[in-house]
Each structure stands twice: as C-alpha cells, then as structure tokens.
Structure 1
Amino acid sequence: MQYAMQHYLGLSEYHLRQKQQEYPVHYEPERLINAHLLVCGMSGTGKSYQSLRLLASAVQAGIEVDVFDVHDELHGIPGANACRYSQATGYGYNPLELDNDPHTGGVNRQIEYLLGLIHEVSPQFGVKQAMVLRNLLADTYALAGIYPDNPGTWQRNSITESVRKQLTDARNWQALKQYYPTLDDLKSYGKRKLTALTLGGDNKCLSALEQLTRHYKRLNALQGKYAKASSDDELDKLGKQLTCSKEHCTSSYAAFIEAMQSGRELEDMLKYDSADTLASVLQRLELLNAAGIFRANPPPFGNAPARVHQLKALTDEQQILLVKLRLRAIFERHKQAGATNSGTQLRHVIFLDEAHKFFSKDSSDIINVIAREARKFGIGLWCASQSPTDFPDSFLTNVGATLILGLHPSHWQMATAKLRLGKDTLKYIRAKEVVAVQLRVAGRAEPPFGNVIVG
C-alpha cells in the first residue's frame, strides 16, 4: 500500500535560534510544484547519508525506487535488491525491445533513439557509420518480421539469453520470431554482411567494385598532387589500370544481374558503404557492450520495491547508455499507465548519483523530458552531485526541493547566481549539522533558502 511521503529533514534554524521554537521541516513531494529533488554537497558533507534516509522514506511510503549508483555506496536501503553491472556478472537489458504504442513507439523511433544515444557518448561516430547502423538495425528487425509501417508486428515477447540459445541450437526460427531480436542478432547479421563485403561471397562484381573504388581514390589523390608537381608517367600507368578495372567491373555486373534472385542484392551491397565502415560500427558496438549491459540477461531484482543499479564497474559511456535506456523504459511504462488521479502523487523515484554527468542540452533527451513532463505520471527525479553549478538552468528552475549540504567556496559565486542563494545562507552551512533547504510549494511565491538543523 502506498502512503503520501513525508520525510523529516530537521528543524528550522531561524525558528530555533530567533524564536526558541522547534519548527520541523519536511520534504512532502505532493505539496510541491513537483517531486524532483536536488541534493548537493562536496565529499564529507553527508550526501550519501541524507540520500539513503530519503530513499528509505520513499520505500516506507510504498513508492517504487530505482537507484543508479555510480560509486556502489547506496545499497543499504531497507528492502532493496542491488545488482552490479560488469563483464563478470553479465547482467543487462535488450536495447532492441520496442515501445509498441503506435503514436510514440515503433521501429523507427527506437532506431533513432539508439543512434542519438550512441552519438551522445561517441561524437566521433560519423554520418556513414550512423547510416550503416541504421540499416543494420532495420534489417535485423525485418528478419524478425518486425516492420516500421506495420504496428501489428511490433508486439513481441522479451527474451533471455538462455531461451535464445535453446531456440537457436534447435534451429527453431519460427519460435524465435515470437521474441524481440537482441544485440547478438544484430552483431551476427552484421558479421554476415561484413563477410560478404570482405570476401565478395559468390558475387565477383563486389570485389571488382571495391577494386575500382580504390583505383578512383588513387587517381583523385594523384590528380591532386599533379596540380603541384606533374607525374605523367605514373598518371598514364594508373589510367590503364583504371580502364582495365572498369572493364572487369562491367563484365562482373553483367554476371551479377543474371544471378539475381531476390532483386535486393544490389541494394544490400550499397547500403553498407564499405567493409571498413561496417567493421568500425561492429567494433564500436563491441566496445560499448564490453561489460554486457546490452545482453538479454535482466538483473535478478525480482519484486523488490527498490532496485539499486550498481554502475561503478562501467565506463562513463556505458553508464550513460544504461541509465538513459532504463529511464526511457520507466517513463514509457508510467506514461502508458496514465496520469495519477491527483496529478501530484509520487509513485516512482529515479535517483541519479553524480547526476550532472547524465544531463545534456538536448531538449528531447529523456532526462529533460522527465524533468518537464513526468510530474503528472507520478515520477520524481532525485539528483545527487557535488555542486549545483553543473546542472542546466532548465532543471534548477524546475526542481521542487533543493538541499545544499555544503559547497566548496570556489562554487559559491556561481551557486548564488544560479540558485539565488545568499552567501550568508551558505556561510552558516555546517557539514552534517546545518544544511540549506528550498521547498517550492505549489501555488506559493518563490521561497528563499532556509537553514535547517538536520535530524
């Protein structure tokens, strides 16, 4: 059963010092503009302790909790199950599962989302690589009978690695189509295409085309050099080689047309650019999934009310990918469930440790979407970090509660500008004893920060 959360923060220092009154201060998300929460404090100010107290209160109130723990320090929540993501444990989530809502989900939406995430963590991922990965994903879905223009094909079952191995070993391809494809299916298909591009398969024209392309590149390079220093003999020699290569490619294409069966052979040859590009895409997928975060092997959380995702063993790129994929799944689940009856009820807390690393300036980023839209669906985004200066203004101005546990003096000036937090308030913060708190109550004017003697 769920109850309205009321978390005791401490006593108002103003009331205690100036009026000799014990005035309790509570975090009550249903009374605030939203349930979003920011906890900031440098090392040694009690950030983990206060975070655990808040999370314990949420669980006690019957609220579902997902904690993304960068330092593996937040597993002491009553009733929580923790899972460590690493190469050794092999737990992960299938990134090819779809949101089957015909308005907000589907094949194209998932492909674009995955491409956007990979580009976010790998800016060097170029246009050609993105095109190749898009085609790989679309073809992998199509092989499973899942098509962008047919929402009736989007609904499939989730699969585990053990089930996939059992069906694959039995060569039960029909039964396999009842499930979403996995990253292993994507890589397997990509490797088959890479083999065809590298070896040419049974189509001699493919090898001829690659040879011709190399000659053209060499000719262009030579012509560039020729503008500065003439090299007629070498250019003549290359011209003869190029003519020979064109003739070989023409005859190969004639044989290729005769050998066509499906009519898609030429299209398949062109959509994967080159063996080098395809190989670099597959290599990037392997690197991003080195810790197994994309394996169809979900963590054993069971029915625990709180789930602690331990991310310490992952790289920053892997952490960002895992967190954003899970946040999107959480948001879509609650969005499909619909708005809460009150519009303010908190039913799911997402806690991000070192949260600033997951934010971006893209308005369509899932974290920014949750910050803007998740209130009515009962989601509270709780963020912990060493300083509020690392967050975008769009989040800082739209967070229901802010707790400042202690900032390094070098951050004071920017913090006062961003949060309208007076230096006197900052000056009287004492680590683990007095914190600065702002609670934005719905329907009231913007409140100032106040010092609270923590309990």
Structure 2
Amino acid sequence: MIMMGDTGSGKTHQLRHVCDSLVRSSSAQTRIHVLDRHGDIDVQGASSVFFSQSADFGINPLELNPDPHYGGVRKRVQAFISGINRTSQRLGHRQEAVLRNLLLDLYRSMGFSLDDPRTWHAANAAEIYSVPGKEDRLYLEVPYEEIDRAKKCGIRWDGDEKAWWCPHGEHTGERRRWPAKVAGQRYPTLLDAIRFSNNRLKAMFLGSSQQAVRSLEAVQRVAKSLAVKQRRAARMAEVMVGEEEISAELAEARAKAIAAYTAAVNAMVTGRELDDLLKYDSIETVKSVVDRLENFYAMGVFRSVPPPHDPGAKVHRYVMTALHDDAQKLLVDTKAEEIFSRAMQRGEQSEVRDVLVVDEATVFISDEKDHILNRIAKEGRKFGVMLLLASQGPGHFTDDLMSAAGTKVMLGFDRNQWRDANRMLGMSTKALEWIIPRRRCVITMKVAGELQSGTHWVNFQAL
C-alpha cells in the first residue's frame, strides 16, 4: 500500500486508522512494525521504543540469518556495507574492501565459517550464563580494554567463574553497554567489530611486517627525491648540490628496510601474515574504517541489547525522532532486512504475518533494484509481508514501487504534483480536482486476476 498526501491532508491520521484496522482484522500471528520518523503514529496498544544516541539498546546489524539459502556470513556483510553506502557518506573502494575483510575475519574468529551453514547458528545463544547458588548475579561480556570503565560502573569480578557480573536488577543505564554472557556461541556485534578492527590496527602498527612496509615507503620517498633533483639538475646543466647527502640517506633507508624485512620473515608464524597485510591495505585505511564504525555506534542504532518491546504486543513501534537521517536510514534498512530474511526462511504464506509501516518514505527509498524496500514490494506478498509506505506525493516513489503497490491512497496533492499523478497513476484532472484533503480521497486497488485497478471515490463525511 502507498499512501500519498501533502502536509495537513490527514496522512498521519489515516496511517493510525489503517494500523488500528490491521490490529483488529489480522490473525494473532501478525506483527506490525511501525518505523515512526516523526513520532506521531501513536497506534493504540503499541509497544513503543524511543531510539536515541543515549539509548542502551538497539539492533544488531551482524546477527546472521542461519538459513543456508537466504542467509550466511557473506550476505550479512554485504547487506551491512550496502546500508552504510546508502548514507550521506559512502565508503571509498579501499575502505569497503578493508571493512569486508575485517568483518569476514571477525566471523571466522568467532567460529562462523563462510561456507559451512552448519556454523551459522548461534548455539544456545538465548541461554544466559548462570551459576547454581549465584542466581542473583547476571554475568556480563566485558572486554579486557573496558575493565576500568566497567569497574567505575560498579561491575564486579567473580574469581571462581572468571567473569564480571552485576545484580540481575541492576543491569541498567551505562551497564547495559555490556551484554549478558551467554552459554555457547553468540553472534558478533558492532562493538565486537570495533574492538576486532582496533586490534588489527594495533597489530599492523606494531608488527614487524608493517614496519617493513613503512621502511620500504621511506626508501621510495628518498629515491624519488633523489631522482627529481637529478632530473632538475640535468635540465639546468648544473652540478647537483647535496647529492652525496641524499645518496647516503638512501643507503641508510635501504639498510633499514632490509633489516625490517629480515625481521618480518623471521617473525612469521601463521603463514598468513603477508595476506593479512595486503588485504588490510594500510594503517590509514584501517584507521578510517574504525572511525566510521565508531561513528555508527555513536548514532544510537546499533547495540548488542535488543529493543525492550513487549513480546505480547501486536504493534512494535520504533520512534526515530531523535536520530540523525543517516541513523534512521540504517535502522529502517536493517530492520526491513531482518523482517524479510526471516519471512523468506519461513516460506510462502497464505496470510499476512508481518506489516512494515514506513512514514516519510521518500527519505528511505532508493533507486537500487536490490534495495530492501524494493525487494519487499516485489516479493514480500508471497512470504506474508505487507509494506505500507507513506509520503507527500507520487514523485517521491520509484516507478517499480508504484507498479508493485496493490493499493494506492491519494489524500490530496499540491498542483505541482499533478503531472506526476497523471503520469505515474493515470489520474485524471477531474479526479484530482475532486479530492479535498480530510474530506474526500481517491483509492485505486488491484484485484487478483485483473489487469486494471479498480478506482474508488471516497467521501469521508458520508462514512
């Protein structure tokens, strides 16, 4: 369903009305996900969660779909990178390659094979680690480099269990930064990716192989400087001043490089040192990737603790008013990917199981054929996923989205939108003139087995 109407045309009111109707008419298994950009789609009975930079919960963008056909490590990594590239600052080609290699290595380090679907399940990940006789303690995953920060927050150490803990009822505030320790394999989080990348950065900075590369770069700089001065002197038919000093500097740089490469070869233990060095490009590139990951973490979307929605509520509302546009895009993309991925794994359905409601859809729509909203619009019906997009006019939607929408609700446009309405919707001037915001609208609906859409002229005052 696509709902279109200028500001003040009653679009938000109609969105609430549709959601309330879906709550009443859908089955008990249906879940309605409202991605609320402005915080005004307050559906009755909804479990609402407010996202912000200071929130201690979020969505895990690295959680895998374990299905061998629709999920896996490579698909999750690519989806995460694609989401980043739809923000206002795309990754450069080198950054994208480095981030992909870092994430793939992170999954490998945590026991998830790229090619073995049997490893894609987080075994027992839902089981919180507990100790008989210490049921009041909630054990936490606290990395070594954050121990001091955890201590300041009152997190305590259990020497017998070799783990950090806090009382069950006190896992609040900043303590929520550290997720509960689980018995078994767990999926990586964005915080894990940041820590892993920082460790790789430190290894590159301190490791002998990187020292060798830096020494080689020093040789290149001195050699280039010498060559430039020699060419300039030859052109001017002059004797080059300082040639002996530069030649001595070049010889010293060569000696350092040879010593560094000798040390690097002697230090090889895994047999993968050279491959690691090549695929991570440079210290500067890895550092820029780490900076981007830390910026995304600071946005308040990606956390290891899931949103505290009421599992019994039929409507889960994601209030995004406090988030930056880029953070909102990442949240919508990630949540939509999660919903659609699970729907495909569930298989074909005879009824609606998930409803995804996106207000101000123009912010989140993409022309890319494989963008998640385009995929749901074209394929979601088969898997029981309904998509409801709302925006101000037909020009805000792609032709593919318009073609895929079974129902289009037109609540009233400014005259500068009429040309788009005529081209994309086949709306006549008579129909557009008949619409009066909050009083009359036009709805077109496709019926299975029919090529033409049925048109309904709706007078709200007569209902």
Tell me the distance in 2 between the aligned counterparts of 1:97 and 1:164. Answer: 19
Match of 1:192 among 168, 192, 199: 199
Aligned to 2:284: 276
Match of 2:217 among 210, 213, 238: 213
**Mean CA deviation greater in 424-433 or 209-218:** 209-218
Aligned to 1:44: 8
The residue type equivalent to 2:60 in the other structure is N
Does the Cα contact within 8 Å between 1:340 and 1:377 map onto a contact in 2? yes
Tell me how far 1:283 sits from its aligned partner.
Answer: 0.8
Aligned to 2:264: 256
Percentage of pairs with the same residue = 33
Aligned to 2:249: 241
In structure 1, the residue corresponding to 2:390 is in which secondary structure?
A: strand
Tell me how far 1:214 sits from its aligned partner.
Answer: 4.7
**Mean CA deviation greater in 209-218 or 80-89:** 209-218
Tell me the distance in 2 between the aligned counterparts of 1:148 and 1:334. Answer: 22
1:315-359 Cα deviation digits (max 9, x unpaired): 111111111111111112121221124xxx223211001112212
Aligned to 1:61: 25
Tell me the distance in 2 between the aligned counterparts of 1:386 and 1:221. Answer: 60
Tell me the distance in 2 between the aligned counterparts of 1:237 and 1:266. Answer: 34
**2:141 equivalent to 1:165:** yes
The residue type equivalent to 1:51 in the other structure is L
**Mean CA deviation greater in 239-248 or 137-146:** 239-248
| 1:167–1:243 Cα change, 3 Å | closer
Tell me the distance in 2 between the aligned counterparts of 1:225 and 1:118. Answer: 45
| 1:255–1:417 Cα change, 3 Å | same
| 1:256–1:300 Cα change, 3 Å | same
**Mean CA deviation greater in 141-150 or 46-55:** 141-150
Does the Cα contact within 8 Å between 1:90 and 1:291 map onto a contact in 2? no
Does the Cα contact within 8 Å between 1:68 and 1:351 map onto a contact in 2? yes
Tell me the distance in 2 between the aligned counterparts of 1:276 and 1:287. Answer: 17
| 1:122–1:134 Cα change, 3 Å | farther
Tell me the distance in 2 between the aligned counterparts of 1:176 and 1:338. Answer: 30
**Mean CA deviation greater in 52-61 or 411-420:** 411-420
**2:107 equivalent to 1:141:** yes
Aligned to 2:397: 391
In structure 1, the residue corresponding to 2:307 is in which secondary structure?
A: coil
The residue type equivalent to 1:212 in the other structure is L
**2:429 equivalent to 1:423:** yes
Q: Normalising by structure 1, what TM-score?
A: 0.83
Tell me how far 1:444 sits from its aligned partner.
Answer: 2.4
**2:327 equivalent to 1:318:** yes
Aligned to 2:152: none
| 1:46–1:143 Cα change, 3 Å | same
Aligned to 1:25: none
**2:102 equivalent to 1:126:** no
Aligned to 1:414: 420
Does the Cα contact within 8 Å between 1:167 and 1:175 map onto a contact in 2? no
In structure 1, the residue corresponding to 2:404 is in which secondary structure?
A: coil
In structure 2, the residue corresponding to 1:382 is in which secondary structure?
A: strand
1:384-407 Cα deviation digits (max 9, x unpaired): 101111111011012111111111
The residue type equivalent to 1:116 in the other structure is S
Tell me the distance in 2 between the aligned counterparts of 1:236 and 1:411. Answer: 74
Does the Cα contact within 8 Å between 1:212 and 1:242 map onto a contact in 2? no
The residue type equivalent to 2:342 in the other structure is R
Q: Normalising by structure 2, what TM-score?
A: 0.82
The residue type equivalent to 1:151 in the other structure is P
1:108-153 Cα deviation digits (max 9, x unpaired): 1111121222122255411111111111101111111111022221
Tell me how far 1:171 sits from its aligned partner.
Answer: 5.5
| 1:426–1:176 Cα change, 3 Å | same
Tell me the distance in 1 between the aligned counterparts of 2:301 and 2:38. Answer: 17
**2:147 equivalent to 1:180:** no
Does the Cα contact within 8 Å between 1:421 and 1:449 map onto a contact in 2? no
**Mean CA deviation greater in 173-182 or 403-412:** 173-182
Does the Cα contact within 8 Å between 2:34 and 2:317 map onto a contact in 1? yes
Aligned to 1:79: 45
| 1:266–1:85 Cα change, 3 Å | same
Please show how residues 224-373 of structure 1 align to structure 2 within 5 Å: 233=241, 240-303=248-311, 304-341=313-350, 345-373=351-379
Tell me the distance in 2 between the aligned counterparts of 1:396 and 1:284. Answer: 35
Structure 2's unaligned 5+ residue stretches are: 130-137, 145-156, 165-180
Structure 1's unaligned 5+ residue stretches are: 1-36
| 1:222–1:74 Cα change, 3 Å | farther
**Mean CA deviation greater in 351-360 or 263-272:** 263-272
The residue type equivalent to 2:61 in the other structure is P
Match of 1:89 among 52, 55, 61: 55
Tell me the distance in 1 between the aligned counterparts of 2:3 and 2:372. Answer: 20
The residue type equivalent to 2:296 in the other structure is L
Residue correspondences, number: 412
Tell me the distance in 2 between the aligned counterparts of 1:242 and 1:222. Answer: 8
Aligned to 2:381: 375
Does the Cα contact within 8 Å between 2:57 and 2:307 map onto a contact in 1? yes
Tell me the distance in 1 between the aligned counterparts of 2:338 and 2:141. Answer: 25
1:215-255 Cα deviation digits (max 9, x unpaired): 52575588689878969557875554344323212222212
Tell me how far 1:45 sits from its aligned partner.
Answer: 0.6
Tell me the distance in 2 between the aligned counterparts of 1:334 and 1:128. Answer: 34
Tell me the distance in 1 between the aligned counterparts of 2:432 and 2:335. Answer: 35
Tell me how far 1:372 sits from its aligned partner.
Answer: 0.8
Tell me the distance in 2 between the aligned counterparts of 1:222 and 1:355. Answer: 59
